[in-house]
């Protein structure tokens, strides 16, 4: 279906840009019942919302005219949450309204304020900006909103999440009450609905989201990994898909810095985007992605808002998002404007339940699988080499002459080998990884009666079995930690799970000896466990296969290291030896020392030498005590206590 008739200037701009058919949101805002009305629109990220509200504003800004008049006060105000999104909207409106003679000004944080001030003073038709910078221009009297005919809030949900509610209300209160208000958001939560009721009049609700297919152009993959192999998984996913541009999301700035450094070290052309970068650094990073000089962008959620990269075909969630809305916003960087994209969630086996909840809440279907192995990546590389565009592109005479010269000097096998070596040299090496578990599919929620029956079954089985293994065939392993290292199952169990990429349900009996510990692993998980412990970089703990516990209790198999020993060193002197020589023999109590001392017998009177109490005291019966002269005064007086009168 072609675009409906709007304005001749805008029709020429769409035709020059190659827009033949409108997207669902563009067709919805151009319906007859949406003309000159306030709109509350929810549409998925990348569905062409910028062009949609640009077309919807044409009748309000231009009317029946084909071109704009001389620019004076702004006629439309577009508010976006981030600098990147505002600049992207600015570029889109320039080519859309360029044939109509529109002058579009941008006001975003991090840019030259004086240049923006001059642009506003010279006059413009449309202003695009971020809430903070627009409010600053309003308070300083640089932005005149008296002639505004329309206001657009793009990504309104994100602006509220970032704490711009106060700025938005200040800006909207400063605009004329008879304006049109268009509110575009990926989701319509309660706070967005409340904002719409406050500042919109009889708004038309447009919902272009399909509940059973939220992102039809995005293919979701959930990859189960070990918690300590996130970086390896990112490397293998990037190598497996080999997209022209990819974006990797982390939760913190520190994680962004660390992952970008790791990818650069492995040979990837990667850039970073986070809130600590200046505007020039962000622009340089984005331009390198658009030019193809960089192929991977590592970013945080906020820094990646509003970024539109033309060939972004892969999104990787290195850290799981906090909620399903963040998941949709992250994933919406790919699959934009009809292009296909792939979204990969890296799920440590300890957080699988959270990942399943995120996928279910977002209403998407994710395919669960293990990480791409190195052999699978090498197979993909061979397929890509065979389909390289160099074999199908038209050759020039110079190319043919060079090929004949090579054939004259080298054999075809040598030439093919050199081509393969050259192709492989520019690719980072894949990481060796193992699948941490067999895919069990999503966990089903049982009703109360079924859960009680399952609990009874587990308790019966626990009473019957001797280990966590559930009665399966087990394989014994040993580690160089024992009782002398204060070994305890409470901290041994997580170490075994971390180093061997297993869960506690796959671990059986744990027996601790003086110099080592032996434990059981389910036989089905033993090969995977052996491979994982061989690759571990832990220099303190060594794990290897062992026989049955009763056959070998060799405490000397793993001599303990000093780092584990917490016992005090034993004394170096022998029993009965002292520094000052041997201890003298014990003798009886010396005679005569106490022989003349009289025995203390008080039956016959006082002890000899006792003269009794001093005279003058204790005579007569004790009477009432006389008060002291300082009675009633606070304690702490200096000198001796005065005698009573």
pLDDT digits (tens, 9 = 90+) for 392-421: 777 788 888 888 888 888 888 888 888 888
Task: Please give the Cα distance from 234 to 315 (Å, whole number).
Answer: 11
Q: Which CATH number fits domain 8-207: 3.40.50.300, 3.40.50.10610, 3.20.20.210, 3.90.320.10?
A: 3.40.50.300
**What confidence category does residue 94 fall into, taking pLDDT thresholds of 50, 70 and 90?**
very high
Residue 256 has pLDDT above 50, yes or no: yes
Residues 212-241: what's their mean pLDDT?
83
Residue 603 has a pLDDT of: 58
**What confidence category does residue 599 fall into, taking pLDDT thresholds of 50, 70 and 90?**
low
Residue 228 has pLDDT above 90, yes or no: no
Residue 349 has a pLDDT of: 79
Residues 145-173: what's their mean pLDDT?
87
Domain boundaries of the chain, sorted by first residue:
8-207, 218-378, 465-564
Residue 28 has pLDDT above 80, yes or no: yes
Residue 433 has a pLDDT of: 78
Maximum average pLDDT range among 20-24, 320-324, 564-568, 576-580: 320-324
Residues 37-41: what's their mean pLDDT?
90
pLDDT digits (tens, 9 = 90+) for 331-359: 877 876 567 889 999 998 778 889 999 99
Beta strands in 135-244 (DSSP E): 150-154, 180-185, 204-207, 218-225
Sign of CA dihedral 540, 544, 548, 554: negative
Structure tokens that stand for 444 in this block: 């089903």
Query: Considering the chain, what is the average pLDDT of its residues?
Result: 78
The values of phi and psi at residue 350, to 5°, are -80, -10
Q: Do residues 90 and 128 make contact, with C-beta atoms less than 8 angstroms apart?
A: yes
Please report, for residues 94, 318, 518, 605, the alpha-carbon distance to residue 46 in angstroms, rounded to integers and kept in the order given.
19, 22, 55, 113
Residue 135 has pLDDT above 80, yes or no: yes
Q: Domain 218-378 is classified in which CATH homologous superfamily? A: P-loop containing nucleotide triphosphate hydrolases (3.40.50.300)
223 bridge partner residues? 346, 369
Residue 206 has a pLDDT of: 87
Q: Three-state SS across 306-329?
A: CCCCCCEEEEEECCCCCCHHHHHH
Least confident of 75-79, 446-450, 474-478: 446-450
CB atoms under 10 Å from CB of 630, counted, come to: 12
The values of phi and psi at residue 204, to 5°, are -90, 125
Maximum average pLDDT range among 18-22, 94-98, 465-469, 497-501: 94-98
Label the pairing between strands 341-348 and 312-317.
parallel
For residues 184 and 208, which has the higher predicted lDDT (pLDDT)? 184
Nearest CA-CA partner of 503 in 411, 426, 437, 448: 437
Residue 625 has pLDDT above 90, yes or no: no
Residue 268 has pLDDT above 70, yes or no: yes
Residue 185 CA from chain centroid, whole number? 23
pLDDT digits (tens, 9 = 90+) for 302-317: 766 667 676 788 999 9
Burial label for 218, CB within 10 Å (0-12, 13-18, 19+), is buried
Residue 261 has a pLDDT of: 92
Domains 8-207 and 218-378 share a fold: yes
Q: Three-state SS across 370-390?
A: CCCCHHHHHHHHHHHHHCCHH
Residue 64 has pLDDT above 90, yes or no: no
Rg (CA), the chain: 40
The CATH number given to 465-564 is 3.30.70.330
pLDDT digits (tens, 9 = 90+) for 477-526: 998 888 887 788 877 887 888 788 888 888 888 898 988 999 999 988 88
For residues 56 and 47, which has the higher predicted lDDT (pLDDT)? 56
**What confidence category does residue 560 fall into, taking pLDDT thresholds of 50, 70 and 90?**
very low
């Amino acid at each position: 279906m072609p675009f409906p008739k709007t304005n001749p200037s805008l029709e020429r701009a769409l035709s020059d840009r190659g827009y033949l058919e409108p997207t669902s949101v563009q067709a919805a805002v151009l319906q007859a019942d949406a003309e000159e009305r306030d709109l509350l629109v929810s549409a998925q990220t990348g569905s062409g919302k910028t062009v949609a509200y640009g077309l919807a504003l044409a009748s309000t800004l231009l009317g029946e005219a084909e071109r704009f008049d001389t620019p004076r006060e702004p006629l439309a105000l577009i508010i976006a949450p981030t600098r990147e999104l505002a600049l992207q909207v600015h570029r889109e409106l320039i080519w859309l309204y360029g044939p109509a003679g529109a002058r579009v000004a941008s006001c975003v944080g991090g840019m030259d304020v004086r240049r923006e001030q001059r642009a506003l003073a010279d006059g413009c038709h449309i202003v695009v900006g971020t809430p903070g910078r627009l409010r600053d221009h309003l308070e300083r009297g640089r932005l005149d909103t008296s002639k505004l005919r329309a206001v657009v809030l793009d990504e309104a949900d994100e602006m509220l999440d970032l704490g711009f509610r106060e700025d938005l209300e200040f800006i909207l209160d400063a605009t004329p009450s008879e304006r049109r208000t268009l509110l575009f958001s990926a989701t319509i939560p309660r706070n967005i609905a409340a904002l719409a009721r406050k500042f919109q009049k009889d708004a038309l609700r447009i919902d272009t989201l399909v509940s059973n297919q939220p992102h039809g152009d995005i293919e979701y993959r959930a990859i189960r990994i070990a918690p300590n192999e996130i970086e390896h998984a990112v490397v293998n996913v990037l190598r497996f898909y080999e997209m022209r541009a990819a974006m990797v999301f982390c939760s913190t700035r520190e994680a962004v810095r660390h992952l970008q450094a790791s990818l650069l070290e492995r040979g990837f052309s990667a850039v970073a985007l986070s809130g600590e970068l200046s505007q020039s650094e962000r622009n340089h990073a984005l331009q390198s992605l658009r030019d193809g000089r960089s192929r991977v962008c590592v970013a945080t959620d906020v820094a990646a808002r509003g970024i539109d990269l033309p060939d972004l075909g892969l999104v990787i969630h290195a850290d799981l998002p906090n909620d399903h809305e963040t998941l949709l916003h992250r994933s919406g960087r790919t699959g934009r404007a009809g292009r296909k994209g792939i979204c990969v969630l890296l799920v440590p086996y300890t957080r699988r339940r959270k990942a399943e909840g995120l996928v279910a809440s977002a209403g998407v279907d994710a395919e669960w699988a293990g990480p791409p192995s190195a052999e699978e990546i090498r197979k993909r590389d061979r397929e890509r080499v065979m389909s390289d565009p160099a074999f199908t592109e038209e050759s020039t005479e110079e190319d043919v002459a060079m090929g004949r010269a090579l054939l004259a000097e080298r054999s075809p096998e040598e030439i093919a080998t050199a081509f393969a070596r050259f192709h492989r040299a520019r690719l980072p090496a894949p990481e060796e990884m193992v699948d941490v578990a067999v895919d069990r599919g999503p966990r089903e929620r049982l009703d109360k009666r079924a859960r009680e029956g399952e609990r009874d079954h587990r308790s019966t089985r626990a009473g019957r079995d001797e280990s966590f293994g559930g009665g399966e065939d087990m394989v014994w392993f040993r580690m160089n930690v024992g009782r002398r290292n204060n070994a305890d199952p409470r901290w041994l169990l997580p170490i075994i799970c971390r180093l061997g990429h297993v869960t506690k349900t796959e671990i059986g009996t744990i027996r601790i000896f003086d110099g080592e510990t032996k434990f059981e692993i389910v036989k089905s998980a033993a090969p995977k466990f052996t491979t994982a412990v061989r690759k571990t970089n832990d220099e303190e703990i060594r794990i290897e296969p062992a026989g049955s516990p009763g056959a070998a209790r060799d405490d000397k198999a793993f001599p303990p290291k000093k780092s584990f020993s917490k016992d005090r060193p034993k004394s170096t002197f022998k029993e009965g030896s002292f520094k000052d020589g041997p201890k003298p023999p014990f003798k009886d109590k010396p005679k005569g020392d106490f022989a003349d001392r009289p025995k203390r017998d008080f039956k016959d009177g006082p002890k000899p030498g006792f003269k009794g109490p001093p005279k003058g005291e204790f005579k007569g019966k004790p009477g009432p005590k006389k008060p002291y002269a300082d009675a009633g005064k606070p304690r702490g007086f200096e000198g001796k206590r005065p005698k009573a009168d």
